[in-house]
Amino acid sequence: MSAPLTPQDVLDLLEQVKDPEVPVISVRELGVLRDVQLTADGVEVTITPTYSGCPAMDVMRTEIERTLHAAGIDRVTVKQVLSPPWTTDWISASGRAKLEGYGIAPPPHSADIRALKGAAPVVKCPHCGSTRTEMISAFGSTACKALYKCTDCLEPFDLFKCL
């Protein structure tokens, strides 16, 4: 007889579900995965979008369902909640490292932004590590990113916006 399913088992399975826009980071590392409950009706997974119009949420929902069904979990409900709103502070340390390794500057924590008292945050180039960077556009490859360039290595890169 196998051990009963636990919420941790489900969380571990969901590490396989990647953000379709940044496929090196899982929905758990991104902080989109909010909760897992085992109920009489099956498994209930709660997710929160990075912003209310995020087009990747439908893909994430489908992949969560597909992953859990493939693991033999037949009854899966994925619900989306908007409150409290997602914050970049929910990105895990491993998620931040993966973003940087992928060439996307991770966002600063909100406490660091508040400490700046209105000054622009220093953005480190994910390619060479320089802090001599400048914003090219408030809009990058997706709506949740801004486009920057490094004035040292001259490479462009996205910054995951602080939300």
Q: So where are the chain's domains?
A: 7-86, 91-160
Instruction: Give me the pLDDT at residue 14, please.
Output: 97
Q: How many whole angstroms separate alpha carbon 45 and alpha carbon 37?
A: 7
pTM of the model: 0.87
Q: How many whole angstroms separate alpha carbon 136 and alpha carbon 59?
A: 29
Instruction: Give me the pLDDT at residue 16, please.
Output: 96
Instruction: Give me the pLDDT at residue 1, please.
Output: 42
- Do 147 and 126 form a contact (C-beta atoms < 8 A)? no
Instruction: Give every residue of the chain whose pLDDT is below 70, as ranges.
Output: 1-3, 113-118, 163
Joined tokens for residue 74: 């037949």
Q: How many whole angstroms separate alpha carbon 96 and alpha carbon 74?
A: 33
Q: Where are the alpha helices (DSSP H) in 71-127?
A: 93-101, 110-115
Instruction: Give me the pLDDT at residue 109, please.
Output: 80
Instruction: Give me the pLDDT at residue 2, please.
Output: 63
Superfamily of structural domain 7-86: Fe-S cluster assembly (FSCA) (3.30.300.130)
Instruction: Give me the pLDDT at residue 11, please.
Output: 96
